[in-house]
Amino acid sequence: MSDIEESQRQKKIGTVLQQDLVEVLQGAATQGGMRGVLISVSKVKVTVDLGVAKVYLSIFPNDKAKELLEGIKSNTPAIRHELARRTRHQLRRMPNLEFFIDDSLEYIDQIEKSLKGKENPIKDPSILEKRKKH
């Protein structure tokens, strides 16, 4: 097994955290007057030493993402405390939490838009010449 591949323990902890984080973050957003905002936890990667959990969030609508991420980061101790309370029977030690925006959906959306857009190299092969790197 390579160092890059996650162990079963890392995956299990990531899954436990992911499930509870969705509830905690969505509840906090709703209480904070952010109704209509959807927060999903797309993945949680736990380091080998189980000391840090990198949490990747998808936030809709997109224009609220940065503002919400800042709010989440500033409330990390409270979020970590709530998670520790919820997972106390499953985890001995709560990892430190690091939050990131998962922009993979936005990236996919941009690709789809460009594929559907005016600049379609399949319909207009002359576009390919403009796109070549010289």
Each residue's pLDDT tens digit, 54-67: 999 988 888 888 88
- Residue 64 region, left (φ>0) first, then alpha (ψ -120 to 50), else beta? alpha
**For residue 12, how many C-alpha atoms fall within 13 Å in the half-sphere facing its CB?**
6
pLDDT value of residue 8: 92
Residue 125 lies in a domain: yes
pLDDT, tens only, 17-54: 999 998 898 877 777 777 778 888 999 999 999 999 99
Asked whether the beta carbons of 16 and 26 are under 8 A apart, the reply is: no
What total number of domains does the chain contain? 2
Residue 131 covered by a domain? yes
Q: Are residues 31 and 93 in the same domain?
A: yes
- CATH number for the domain including 94? 3.30.300.20
* Phi (first) and psi of residue 45, to 5 degrees: -110, 125
1: in domain: no
Q: Comparing C-alpha atoms, which of 80, 78, 73, 46 is closest to residue 59?
A: 73
Residue 109 and residue 96 share a domain: no
pLDDT, averaged across the chain: 83
Q: Which domain holds residue 52?
A: 8-102
CA 128: distance to chain centroid? 34
**Confidence class for position 128, pLDDT limits 50, 70, 90:** low
Q: Are 88 and 46 within one domain?
A: yes
Same domain as 44, residue 54:
yes
- Contact assessment for residue 25 and residue 41, using Cβ atoms and an 8 Å cutoff: yes
Assess whether 62 and 89 both reside in one domain.
yes
